[in-house]
A and B are shown apart, each in its own frame.
Chain A
Amino acid sequence: EPEVTQTPSHQVTQMGQEVILRCVPISNHLYFYWYRQILGQKVEFLVSFYNNEISEKSEIFDDQFSVERPDGSNFTLKIRSTKLEDSAMYFCASRAGQTEAFFGQGTRLTVV
């Protein structure tokens, strides 16, 4: 069964460092998303991506964040200068159309 895959599963980084979280969405999907979940809290929308551009972003998604689809399969989230409060589980999701979204297993980011 097709699935969304994320790498790495866990990343520890120093405050101020740049991190790139990687995702391979399901191959025939058109809509791509990043969400985050701070420990013990609900899942929050960060950004949606369609037709090779950002279609919507939340107020969390500030200038420190960027997304890219560098080739036909990968979808990345970059955080330029990490802060302690960026520590969270980051989920990638994809969707074919007006149907259900499928989520990856998540990347747990720890900023120290």
Chain B
Amino acid sequence: GIQVEQSPPDLILQEGANSTLRCNFSDSVNNLQWFHQNPWGQLINLFYIPSGTKQNGRLSATTVATERYSLLYISSSQTTDSGVYFCAVAGYGGSQGNLIFGKGTKLSVKP
């Protein structure tokens, strides 16, 4: 099956700093989503981005499908950005869109 690797595993930032999170995947995908898991465990949809670039406020994401990676950019980080960021992908073929998750990047933003 598809392998998903996220880096870095942990990231500590000062409030106001920018960061880039990376997601590499091992095969072609027809779905790629970024999630933020908040301290209560909820998975919050950030982006649905199987290819291209999207922006939503201070967050943006880019997926280069041909090179099998995606990047999540967080600008001017805030303490509320803390949590775990997951990348998840679904491949072509027989799967019914089942998402395969990476291990996540744990982000801590210090005031």
Total A-B residue contacts, Cβ distance less than 8 Å: 60
Is there contact, CB below 8 Å, between A56 and B96?
yes
Which of chain B's residues have a CB closer than 8 A to the CB of A45?
A: 98-100
Measured in the bound complex, the distance between the Cα atoms of B40 and A56 in whole Å is 29
- Residues of A within 8 Å of B104, CB to CB, are 42
Do A100 and B98 have beta carbons less than 8 Å apart? Answer: no
* Total interface residues in chain B, CB < 8 Å: 23
Report the bound CA distance from A106 to B44 in whole Å.
Answer: 11
Which of A48, A91, A98 meets B43, CB within 8 Å? A91
Alpha-carbon distance A99/B30, docked complex (angstroms): 9
- A101 surroundings in chain B (CB, below 8 A): 31, 33, 97, 99
Residue numbers of A with Cβ under 8 A of B are: 31, 33, 35, 37, 41-45, 48, 50, 55-56, 89, 91, 93, 95, 98-103, 105-106, 108
